[in-house]
Amino acid sequence: MRLRNRVLPCCRIHLAQPVGVCRQIDDAEACGAMGLALAVGSQRIAIEGRGAGGLGRELRERAPNVPILGNLGAVQLRCGMGVDEARRAVEMLEADALMLHANPLQEALQPGGNRDFSGLLGRIEALAGALPVPLGVKEVGAGLSAAVGRRLLDAGVVILDVAGIGGTSWARVEAERGDDHLRRIAAPFYDWGIPTAEAVAAMAPAMRPDTMLIASGGIRHGLDVARALRLGAHLVGQAAGVLPAARDGAEALAAHLGETVEQLRIAMFCTGSSDLSALRRAPLV
């Protein structure tokens, strides 16, 4: 798939949702050095002028030759944001694509959360037609169903990130931020949703030429990357899995990512897969 003037090979791992100003820069430096795509966290606060949080052109300066994916909340399209704000999100990073994160479970549990998702698909379709870069949609840990994914593809979305169960539970995060009442309400939803493997396997057959499927949610190591690619993902993302290394800076992060790539290569060797196309034909057990 081509993102602006950059071709994004199917073998790339992307680093999702870095946090903290210094960590943002370290993440960009590590990804730039290793040729890995970088997907940032929400840019809403930066768009609203309440602080850039490290989400600026310095990321592009540290990673000049790799794809960078911007990020806004999908529900923000119902809260005053539109094409202008989306363009600003792209421009502030010189991003190659913009991802809209859809987090209905988190919003439902969050005190004061934005719970009006009505008419959102039409707004996403309008934005897809107006944005100068590809538009994507991602879940945030509860999984994207194939039925919803197909509707998004019909609306002009070209990148889907299933972000399934297995990684960070935002229901648990919101519960820990709340009182006893909220913790009781949230508890049944800690593992609610679609596991990443199931979401990828269900979505892969519906993908179309020049669209991209990202597997994220509980990707722990290179063997998980191999599994996700075999199930049909074009790209595999880590967020929580890279945080321990990211806290120690760009060098530690690069070492972690290097180990992940090495594990992927071992999985390919042990399945007799000479390249990623062969890996996608490896027998499933």
What is the DSSP code (8-state) at residue 121?
H
Count of other CB atoms within 10 angstroms of residue 249: 16
d(CA 28, CA 139): 23
User: Are the beta carbons of 194 and 143 closer than 8 angstroms?
Assistant: yes
pLDDT in tens, 256-280: 999 999 999 999 999 999 999 999 9
d(CA 72, CA 75): 9
Q: Widest CA span of the chain, in angstroms?
A: 54
Query: In Å, how far are 14, 208, 246 from 53, measured between CA atoms?
Result: 20, 35, 16
Q: Does domain 2-279 have CATH number 3.20.20.70?
A: yes
Determine the pLDDT at residue 9. 41
d(CA 43, CA 86): 10
Determine the pLDDT at residue 17. 46
User: Are the beta carbons of 36 and 167 closer than 8 angstroms?
Assistant: no
Domain boundaries, the chain: 2-279
Q: Residue 172: which H helix or E strand, with range?
A: helix 170-177
d(CA 266, CA 279): 11
Determine the pLDDT at residue 4. 53
> C-alpha 174: how far from its chain's center?
20
209 three-state secondary structure: coil
User: Are the beta carbons of 20 and 54 closer than 8 angstroms?
Assistant: yes
Determine the pLDDT at residue 33. 86
d(CA 239, CA 39): 9
Query: In Å, how far are 8, 191, 206, 250 from 101, measured between CA atoms?
Result: 21, 19, 20, 26
Which ranges of the chain have pLDDT less than 50? 5, 7-12, 17-22
Please report, as a single letter, which amino acid is at residue 43: Q
Determine the pLDDT at residue 30. 83
Determine the pLDDT at residue 19. 41
Determine the pLDDT at residue 29. 84
Q: Which is nearest to 42 in space by CA: 33, 32, 30, 54?
A: 54
Determine the pLDDT at residue 250. 83
Determine the pLDDT at residue 51. 61
Determine the pLDDT at residue 32. 86
Strand 6-7 vs strand 2-3: parallel, antiparallel, or unpaired? Answer: antiparallel
Determine the pLDDT at residue 20. 44
Determine the pLDDT at residue 129. 97
159 three-state secondary structure: strand
Query: In Å, how far are 47, 70, 154, 165 from 121, measured between CA atoms?
Result: 22, 19, 10, 23
68 three-state secondary structure: strand
